[in-house]
Amino acid sequence: MKLPPLKIKDLEIQLPIIQGGMGAGVSGYCLAGTVSKEGGLGVISSVALDKIIFLRKNQKLSAREATAVEVQDAKELSQGKPVGINIMVALQSQYEDAVLGALDGGVDVIISGAGLPLRLPEIVDSHPNKDKVKLIPIVSSARVFDLICKRWKRTNRLPDAVVVEGPLAGGHIAWRTIEEAELPSNSLENLVKEVLETAKIYNIPVIAAGGIFTHEDIVKYMEMGCAGVQIGTRFLTTYESGASEEFKQAVINCKKEDVILADKPGSPCGLLFRVIKNCPFYEEALANARPIKCDRGYLLINGKCLAKENSEEAFCICNGLLSAINANDNPNEKGLYSVGSNAYRIDKISSVAEIMKELSGE
Ligand SMILES: Cc1cc2nc3c(=O)[nH]c(=O)nc-3n(C[C@H](O)[C@H](O)[C@H](O)COP(=O)(O)O)c2cc1C
């Protein structure tokens, strides 16, 4: 099937494929800029950009300045085609700076989840680029989507589209227990159906995410009524991704049973987090051998990090993720590898152009 473009108000993306934001530093300017150049919507991750820009350019910038630079570099690579940014609500200390920096850099789309992005339109409203940017929340239920619509209406704004992310996705997923995540009622197909119903009321395009791997998967969700899909894991092992060589090889080598939802110890966010279980960082965390340390502080919830309070409940995700990418300033630290549930189906490193061609079905 020839895939139609993704239309988000006046913004038109040649292919209905959004590359999901992957923090920290996996979806940097290089991956996002190339995906956009190849006709999809490339999405950078806002996580730790101050640190990443320092390592990449030797420039000491604030979080806001660094975010603007990363967006501008992605846009240069995309040859002016639209570029998005993913900003996690859970990154409370840098949330506002990341939103404003992305707008300073001229970002076209802000995608925000891992918490409720209730304040996003208020923050955007103060910026001169407020009318140019498209705002897309990530939700995992129609109830939360409806709540966000009602709250955003107070600022005279509705989501320009919505990503509905199911339990097979990489990174954090919306459920707190494995039993809940595995309930048939929480399958992506069911979540998409309920969110489509609510989206009809507000006339908002729906984008499906989590476990989408092939052209046929994309067609399936388009036929259900989605305007597009968001895909993460397939782009993880591209030449253009910021994942370290060890991370990419671990994805290529992993088997189905190696991909698990980490829980106790899990992510200090309090949400389930999908990892390759035999990655060096997670093995160490399981053995409870990690000293309690929090020297990065990106993921403080109300000023606190659960990993610092109780290492049996949670591991220090900031250090693990920053050691799983090329821009690594601490070679002594072990890498934490997050992937989607279909990671075991990947058997080689590819270029973004190859992946986009395969997904487009041409
Ligand atoms: C390594 C990795 C890091 C991720 N980081 C983020 C993130 O920072 N913020 C976010 O909203 N989603 C994140 N995700 C989720 C992706 O954006 C995407 O929605 C999801 O992986 C889709 O499922 P798939 O990997 O099966 O295609 C991450 C996924 C992976 C694999």
Q: Which of 17, 18, 19, 22 to mutate to test the pocket of ligand 1 (most atoms within 8 A of CB)?
A: 22
Q: Give the model's confidence band at 291: pLDDT under 50 very low, under 70 low, under 90 confident, else very high.
A: low
The confidence score (pLDDT) of residue 319 equals 82
Is the pLDDT score of 294 beyond 80?
A: no
CATH 3.40.50.10420 fits 6-243+346-360, yes or no: no
Task: Give percent above pLDDT 70 in the chain.
Answer: 95
CA 56 to ligand 1 centroid distance, Å: 22
Which of 138-147, 196-205, 231-240, 271-280 is predicted least confidently? 271-280
Task: Give percent above pLDDT 90 in the chain.
Answer: 79
Question: For residue 61, what are its two tokens?
Answer: 């910038």
The confidence score (pLDDT) of residue 13 equals 98
Based on C-alpha coordinates, what's the Rg of the chain? 19
Determine which residue's CA is closest to atom 8 belonging to ligand 1: 23
Count of C-beta atoms within a 10 Å radius of residue 270? 14
Nearest to 265 by CA among 287, 296, 280: 287
Determine which residue's CA is closest to atom 4 belonging to ligand 1: 22
Is the pLDDT score of 193 beyond 90?
A: yes
For the segment 135-153, what is each residue's pLDDT rounded down to a tens digit?
Answer: 999 999 999 999 999 999 9
CA 23 to ligand 1 centroid distance, Å: 8
- The domain locations on the chain are 6-243+346-360, 245-344
With a 6 Å cutoff on the Cβ, whether 47 touches ligand 1 is yes
Per-residue pLDDT, averaged over 87-103, amounts to 94
Quickly tell me which residue has 């910021």 as its tokens: 242
The confidence score (pLDDT) of residue 148 equals 98
The amino acid sitting at 328 is: N
In terms of DSSP H, where are the helices of the chain?
A: 29-37, 49-57, 63-77, 95-104, 120-125, 142-153, 178-181, 188-202, 215-224, 233-236, 245-253, 280-286, 306-309, 317-322, 352-360
CA distance 206 to 215: 18
CA distance 38 to 353: 6
With a 6 Å cutoff on the Cβ, whether 340 touches ligand 1 is yes
The confidence score (pLDDT) of residue 147 equals 97
Determine which residue's CA is closest to atom 17 belonging to ligand 1: 20
The amino acid sitting at 93 is: S
CA 247 to ligand 1 centroid distance, Å: 15
Is the pLDDT score of 232 beyond 70?
A: yes
Q: Give the model's confidence band at 323: pLDDT under 50 very low, under 70 low, under 90 confident, else very high.
A: confident
CA 339 to ligand 1 centroid distance, Å: 8
Q: pTM above the 0.75 mark?
A: yes
